[in-house]
Each structure stands twice: as structure tokens, then as C-alpha cells.
Structure 1
Amino acid sequence: MTGAFEAAGARRSWSKVTDEAPSHEELARLVSAAGRVADHSSLRPWRLIEIRGDGRTRLGRALNKAEGKRGVSTKPMRAPLLIAVVASYSKKSKVPRWEQEAVASGVAHMLSLLLDEAGWGVFWRTGGATRSKAVAKAHKLGKREELLGWLYVGGKPADRDSGRRKTIDAEDFLSPMP
């Protein structure tokens, strides 16, 4: 791929990935680029938590606790690397909370594009547990932080069709000011 247009046009979610994952160093390089999203007042109202190995088990325990179950959920085991996307809101800023959350979401989306372009399969998982006390505690979230979900990252299976999404008809979503 040679540019953002091609990367965006080729993006898709990979709900099944292999056990391979980018190294911490490769991930850090991509996070550095993803952090360049539009950010009113340059607040950087986000952070990411890298979850690998036993961290996935701890998350699985927190997910089950959030749902009133015992044991460990297998959901975090569906990828070798999970990246928790956290909105870290600044109370002292004139920038509204929704806009700060939009920046954190933008970083997550940009990172997913960069990971995909680097050859990794990515899907973004959310759900009711993202705002639960048990899951917040497992991630050690601060008082002005909220979990927006996790990017699940792994290798793209060679034996699976890429399942490219159909291009949308822009005219269905684009209109002039009334």
C-alpha cells in the first residue's frame, strides 16, 4: 500500500487471528505515529495498555466478574495481543469531554489502520464490561478515565479470504448543508 487512501479502503476486521503478534518495539513505533491524530489543545487525552500473556488471564477473570460469573472468560485468549484503549479526560481544559473521547477513538482507529498496513489482523472489541468496576480495577483506571474497548491483534491467517468490505456509496452519507 502506498498511502492512507489505500489503507482505509483495504481495512477490515479480522475476527480470527493467529498466535503471532507485533513486538513491543514495533507496536511502540506504530503508537507514535497513531498519536498524531487531530487533538484540540494537544491534550493527548488517551493512553493504551498492552496486554499479553498472563495479563489476558487477569482480564478474563475481570470480564467474568463483571458479568457475575466465576472463573476466567476465554474472550481475551482470542488474540495474542490486546491493546486497551483508555480515554483520559482532562478536567482543567476547555475542550469538552466528548471531544477528548473522540481523540482517544481516533488514536485507536489510526492504530488499527497502521497495524493492518503492517500486516497484522485487528478487530476492536467493546461491550458492557468496558465500563464495569471490575474491568476498570483490572486496568487500574484513574478517576477521570474510561475504557473504550480493546484492539485484538494477531497474525492474519493465510488460509482465510480477506473478506474485503464493499465500498460504500458516498452519496448515501454525504449531503450539502440544508
Structure 2
Amino acid sequence: MRARRSLSKVTDAAPTHDELVELVSAAGRVADHKELRPWRLIEIRGDDRIALGRAIAKSEGKKGVYSKPLRAPLLIAVVASVRSKKVDAWEQEATAAGVAHALSLLLDEAGWGVFWRTGDYTRAKAVAKAHGLEKGEHLLGWLYVGGKPERSRPLRGKTIDGARHLSRMPRGKKD
């Protein structure tokens, strides 16, 4: 995890469906209040990436194909599926985001290049329709997955100062 980095350029290699299923099974072990499993993932390969590109272009009022989905051989759409009114929606969305993050770490560990792409169009009707989203579902973005280029730059200057982001709970003033 300390060496993980987003790779915005990946090669045309990608994990197989079966390899992906195994990683998704592990990623699905994230914290999940009431075990609702309020998420699903959509595997997008080949011409499905073109269909997604058309939907994104349409959502922006343009014709043609938006090219970003073609930048990786595999896209994994991350869908939050709000399943219960007893658990806050934000908590269910956090579980879906947790699965995506865990999956990105697992993919990286398995030797794949990964980056997470979002954008305003994740909430567009044309994009939701292209993904077959149902009521209570919304798209959190896509994991772009491919091979790691041989000449990936080493991780530099990206260390996080944990002390800067960690504090104690403040104590209330005594009356």
C-alpha cells in the first residue's frame, strides 16, 4: 500500500474475468453495516467502452465518442446501491467506495495499473442508462485497469505525514 500510485497510462493487458472475480470476492470484505452489500461492479471491456464513450458525449450535449473510456482495456464501474432506509445512504455509499478502494489496492498488488476516474457525467441520465442503473443506484466512477508500463516512474515525494492528519478528540471546557 505504501508504494501504490495511480497510473493514468496503462498497457492493453488486463486481468481475466476469473481473476477479477477472485479479487472482487476479497474486496467485498470491507466494513458493511448490516451486511447489506450496497454495491455492485460492472465489467466494461471492448466495444462496451465505446458505448460508454457515446453515453458520456451525449451527457455533455456532444455527438461522437468521448475517448477517455478507451484509455484502458478494462473499466470497472462502481455502483452504490442504496438498499435500506435503516442505514444512512452515506454509509452505504461509503461501503461501495470502500470496495472500490480495496479492489484498486488488490489490483495494484496483483501487478495491474489502476486509476479511479470520476466526473460530473457520473450522475448523467445517459450514463446511468448505459450502465442499466436501477432506482436507488448511482455511479461513483470507474476503475481503469490495465498493465503497468515497463517504464512507470517511481513513486517520489508522495509520502503522507500521518501526524499532520491525526489528532486527539478535543476536551470540552470545564464550566
TM-score with structure 2 length normalisation? 0.95
Contact map agreement 2:40 2:81 (CA 8 A) in 1: yes
Question: What SS does structure 1 have at the residue aligned with 2:108?
Answer: helix
One of 71, 76, 97 as aligned partner of 1:78: 71
Distance 2:160 2:102 in 1: 20
2:121 matched to which residue of 1?
A: 129
Query: What stretches of structure 1 move > 4 A for 4+ residues in a row?
Result: none
Equivalent residues, number: 170
Given the alignment of the two structures, is residue 144 of structure 1 paired with residue 136 of structure 2, yes or no? Answer: yes
Question: What SS does structure 2 have at the residue aligned with 1:177?
Answer: coil
One of 6, 18, 32 as aligned partner of 1:39: 32
Residue by residue, what CA displacement relative to the aligned partner does 1:79-102 show, whole Å, maximum 9, x if unpaired? 0000000000013x4110000000
Distance 1:80 1:18 in 2: 8
Given the alignment of the two structures, is residue 63 of structure 1 paired with residue 79 of structure 2, yes or no? Answer: no
- Residue type at the aligned position of 1:142: E
Given the alignment of the two structures, is residue 169 of structure 1 paired with residue 154 of structure 2, yes or no? Answer: no
2:93 matched to which residue of 1?
A: 101
Distance 2:101 2:157 in 1: 16
Residue by residue, what CA displacement relative to the aligned partner does 1:110-160 show, whole Å, maximum 9, x if unpaired? 000000000000000000000000000000100100000000000000022
Distance of aligned partners of 1:164 and 1:31 in 2 relative to their CA distance in 1, 3 Å threshold: farther
Question: What SS does structure 1 have at the residue aligned with 2:116?
Answer: strand
Q: What do you get for the CA RMSD once the two structures are aligned?
A: 0.9
Distance 2:108 2:159 in 1: 17
TM-score with structure 1 length normalisation? 0.93
Work out the percentage of aligned pairs sharing the same amino acid: 72
Shift of 1:164: 4.6
Shift of 1:161: 1.6
Question: Whose radius of gyration is greater, 1 or 2?
Answer: 2
Residue by residue, what CA displacement relative to the aligned partner does 1:28-80 show, whole Å, maximum 9, x if unpaired? 00000000000000000000000000100000000000110000111100000
Question: What SS does structure 2 have at the residue aligned with 1:10?
Answer: coil
Contact map agreement 2:38 2:80 (CA 8 A) in 1: yes
Given the alignment of the two structures, is residue 54 of structure 1 paired with residue 47 of structure 2, yes or no? Answer: yes
Contact map agreement 2:3 2:155 (CA 8 A) in 1: no
Shift of 1:11: 1.1
1:11 matched to which residue of 2?
A: 4
Instruction: Give the gaps of 5 or more residues in structure 1.
Output: 1-7
Distance 1:129 1:90 in 2: 23
